[in-house]
Amino acid sequence: MTDPQSVVIASCVYGVLLLTLGYFGRRAKQRNTLEDHFLAGRSIGLVVLLLTLFATQYSGNSLSGFPGKTYRAGLGYIMSVTFMVGVVSGYLLYAPALLARARKRRYLTPNDFLADRFGSPTLHYTAAAIFAFTLCNFLLAQLMAMGHAFAGLTDGRISYTAGVVGGAAVILGYELLGGMRAVAWTDAIQGSILISGLALVVVVVVTEIGTPTAILQTLAVQAPAKVASPSFQACLTWLSTCALLGLGGPLYPQAIQRLFAARRIGELRSALAIMALVPLFVITTVVFIGITGAMLFPDLDTVGSDQVTFRVLGHLADLQPWVGLPVLLVMMGVLAAIMSTADSALLSLASIFTKDVIARRLGLRGTEVDRLTRVVPAISLGAVLLLGWIALEPRFTLWRLLEIKFEVLIQLSPAFVLGTLPPPSHGRPYAARDVLRGLMVGLTLALGLYLTGHSTIFGLHAGVLGVIANYLTAMASRRLDRRPETV
Amino acid sequence: MADSPPRHPRFLALLAILLLLTVPWPFIGSETVFAWGLPRWLWWSLGWTAALAVTTAWGILRLWGDEEDPS
């Protein structure tokens, strides 16, 4: 395995690099406005946009969690390639119309669209609560993952607590210095490390262990169930997972804000078109690592299988000393992926509290909201302190609630999809009351099923069943309630 | 309103069909048969996933209008 000392040194160098980028992000700041801080003044060009979208969509879980799931579920987890493509396909349902409107009306947060389109305070605050819940979930999970990653990769030389505190301090530092500009630049570095590390690992696995076909044929003899075609129920879950992520993934506020931050629509389209193809290479590689682990280490338990990426890397480093560099790159790539997800979630969370809650409560409009740039550091610090404290003393009852982020977030899908539809030729457009009725039915069904232990029914996720009911209710409401739209 | 895929319902239907096809339905319960080094159901799934990815990329580039001012 790679010397833990070198991981400690690489982590420290990396932390300093990120803070330096934060400093340059501050120097590049053009105006002291919320738009400049949260959206980099809508100035992000193609390359940085592509890499920041990549780093946001691919979290530490994609690199270390997906191979573990592949190890346990077998080759059937190749569905992860489909659902990661599905996330990009999902943008097509509403993003073009949303973006056109966002650029005209200078939206800062996704909720600005809901407020502008529907004009309902109830919908506004409900959506803000759902976004904040999802982002807190993300941030907390990444802070904990950061602690575990530092402790695991450095063989305990950096403790879990030091990993959480140090990592959070670095993220907070560069984010407060340079806002979205610094976050996007660091995401670009993080995305590059991730891609190069994975590419090197593929080369090393193929040269040192075997080609994917050789590995799969060995595994077919060793553990036939791991390469068998999925059962009917697994196929339903496959479809349901694609729906859950395809509708929920494009609603991540941090992802939507990256769309808002694009310099030009043309560059954004090019970046998203490339992102549609990326899973074919990146996630296939990640599944390949999981399959390689299943062949090399057939008897791992759940905890062991979650570390299968590092076990495969350690095995490679034992085979060939020159493999140390790619292994170190992937390890740093995992840390980078965790940090990039955390920084995006923190920035987005701060924007939602600042714009959607405080500015709204104070009734600030137009350029008046820029007075709130002074409170952004306090909000970011408060969020990190609160979630960092929970990360240091995890409460398992809370974890149960946090597992359901997608089931909850996906319920906002009708508000965006139906809200961006062209005006109908007959009848009225969708109104806030239609969307709210759907949202309440969807949330009640999804949470009710989940919290009563029915997270899936016949392989379909509670959130997917909830969102189907949500869409049907909103559509029925529009058709049956013929009163004109009030806003 | 800007040009967008929701204005092209046939395209959205195509995406939904491709998504359905990515699931290896025809291979449920069948024995694992290898072709060109990989299980046949994997070729099926990866092939349709690639088609979904390419169609999505095409839709983004061709059906997403340039208008900055929708209404």
B40-53 confidence digits (pLDDT tens): 999 999 999 999 99
Q: pLDDT tens digit string along A119-157? A: 999 999 999 999 999 999 888 888 888 887 887 777 778
CA–CA distance from A65 to each of A60, A93, A248, A281, A404 (Å)?
A: 7, 28, 19, 17, 17
CA distance A424 to chain B (A): 11
Contact B63, B11 (CB under 8 A): yes
> Taken in order A92, A98, A99, A101, is the CA torsion positive or negative?
positive
Report residue B70's pLDDT band, with 50, 70 and 90 as the boundaries: very low
Rounded to the nearest integer, the mean pLDDT of chain A is 87
Which residues in A lie closer than 8 A to residue B25 (C-beta atoms)?
235
Q: pLDDT tens digit string along A375-434? A: 888 888 999 898 888 888 765 555 555 568 888 999 999 999 999 988 888 888 899 999
Residues in chain B: 71
More reliable by pLDDT, A5 or A444: A444
B65 vs A100: CB contact, 8 Å cut-off?
yes
Contact A154, A364 (CB under 8 A): no
Of A85, A101, A213, the CB nearest to B70: A101
Among all residues of chain B, which has the CA nearest to that of A236?
B23
Buried b (16+ CB within 10 A) or exposed e, A342-378: bbbbbbbbbbbbbbbbbbbeeeeeeeebbebbeebee
B52 vs A82: CB contact, 8 Å cut-off?
yes
Burial (CB < 10 A; 0-12, 13-18, 19+), residue A245, is buried
Which residues in A lie closer than 8 A to residue B36 (C-beta atoms)?
213
Domain ranges of chain A: 4-400
CB pairs under 8 A between A and B: 158
Average of per-residue pLDDT across A79-108:
92
Cβ atoms within 10 Å of A334's Cβ, excluding its own: 25
Strand pairing report for A456-457 and A460-461: antiparallel
Owner of token pair 């034992």: A318
The confidence score (pLDDT) of residue A474 equals 96
Among all residues of chain A, which has the CA nearest to that of B17?
A239
Torsion (CA) A358, A346, A58, A246 in degrees, nearest 10: -20
Q: pLDDT tens digit string along A423-462? A: 888 888 899 999 999 999 999 999 999 888 888 888 889 9
Of A78, A86, A272, the CB nearest to B46: A78
B71 pLDDT higher than 50: no
A217 vs B37: CB contact, 8 Å cut-off?
yes
The confidence score (pLDDT) of residue B69 equals 43
Task: Please state the φ and ψ torsions of residue B34, each to the nearest 5 degrees.
Answer: -90, 140
The confidence score (pLDDT) of residue B59 equals 94
B42 vs A277: CB contact, 8 Å cut-off?
no
Closest among A130, A52, A53, A86 to A416, alpha carbons compared: A130
Q: What percent of chain B is predicted at pLDDT more than 70?
A: 85
Cα angle vertex A96, ends A95, A98, to 5°?
60
Q: What is the CATH number of domain A4-400?
A: 1.20.1730.10
A178 pLDDT higher than 70: yes
Average of per-residue pLDDT across A184-203:
83
Among all residues of chain B, which has the CA nearest to that of A85?
B53
Amino acid letter, residue A192: S
The confidence score (pLDDT) of residue A274 equals 96
More reliable by pLDDT, A237 or A369: A237
pTM for this model (two decimals): 0.88
User: Predicted ipTM?
Assistant: 0.91
Average of per-residue pLDDT across A194-215:
84
**Residue of B25, B33, B45, B61 best to disrupt the A interface, most CBs of A under 10 A:** B45
A239 pLDDT higher than 50: yes
A469 pLDDT higher than 80: yes
